Every structure is written in C-alpha cells, then in structure tokens.
A = this chain, B = another copy of it.
Amino acid sequence: MTRDEGLEALRKCRDRIDDLDRRILALLNERTRVVEEIGRVKHDLDLPIYEPKREDEVFANVTGNNQGPLTPDGVKRVFERIIDEMRNVQRLRMLDKDGNESS
C-alpha cells in the first residue's frame, strides 16, 4: 500500500465512521423517546422510575447478543452510560413538569 492509497483508505474509513455515528445517534434519540414514554406510563400508574431488575435485563440483552469485537465489559460500560444519560433526560422532564426547577 502506497502512502496515498493509505491516506485514501483512512478517509473512507472516517466517512464510514461518521455515517455509523449518525445512525447510532438516531437510534439513541429514538430510544430516549421510548424511555420518556415509559416515564409517562409509570407516572400514570404510580410505578417507581428506577427498577434494578429491568436494568439487569437490559444488560443481559446486549451482552447476550454481543458478537464482538467489543468485549462484554465494554458493551456493558457503553450501555451504562446510555442508561445514565436517559435517566438525566427523564429527571429534567420531571423537574420541568413539576415546575420545580424549570426555566
């Protein structure tokens, strides 16, 4: 591989990454909307927002379906962050709704 060929290969890889990231982002936002819907239903039914058992199911779903090259621990850490961020969004909505800290 010449240097020019290598640089061209790099450029193409980066375009693929950017495209993949936009698709991941769209799915993350779609997931957030479903989490918000869950929050509304739980609010109506007076159910607790935080359910550790359900979180275990979420982790089991992704680690059980992981074919790599990401490691199971890596997958778990990424989804911990995803869940954490969606909890933030939900918390902000609740505050907003109750008017406690809304702007």
Interface positions of A (Cβ within 8 A of B)? 1, 3, 6-7, 9-10, 13-14, 16-18, 20-25, 27-38, 41-42, 44-45, 47, 54, 57-58, 61-62, 65-71, 74-75, 77-79, 81-82, 85-86, 88-89
Q: How many copies does the complex hold?
A: 2
Taking a contact as CB atoms under 8 Å apart, the answer to whether A25 and B66 are in contact is yes
Taking a contact as CB atoms under 8 Å apart, the answer to whether A29 and B61 are in contact is no
Taking a contact as CB atoms under 8 Å apart, the answer to whether B89 and A36 are in contact is no
| Residue from the list B21, B69, B74 in contact with A79, Cβ < 8 A | B21
| Residue from the list B32, B44, B67 in contact with A69, Cβ < 8 A | B32
| Residue from the list B13, B22, B37, B82 in contact with A65, Cβ < 8 A | B22
